[in-house]
Amino acid sequence: MTQLSTQSNFAVPDEFYECLIDAHRDLSAEQSHAMNAALVLLLSNHIGDMNVIRDALIKARATVEHAD
């Protein structure tokens, strides 16, 4: 069973962030949300391990539940 890696796997993390911001450029809020949903589905399919995906969903939700 693979575990969720929360350490950066990017040689240049800023490059990923720049690509993500560029992908959202000039999109409406609705389009941006839809793109994020499509990205989550595409990457989840690529991962294909439900244990890893469940762990990622739990951790991601915790970041917004405790942000208030």
> What are the tens digits of pLDDT across the range 6-54?
999 999 999 999 999 999 999 999 999 999 999 999 999 999 999 999 9
Q: Give the distance from CA 51 to its chain's centroid.
A: 16
Confidence of residue 2 (pLDDT cuts 50, 70, 90): confident
pLDDT at 66: 77
As a whole number of angstroms, the distance between CA 50 and CA 56 comes to 10
As a whole number of angstroms, the distance between CA 26 and CA 21 comes to 10
Please answer whether residues 35 and 24 qualify as being in contact, where contact means their C-beta atoms are separated by less than 8 angstroms: yes
Rounded to two decimals, the pTM is 0.84
Element at 50 (helix H, strand E): helix 50-65
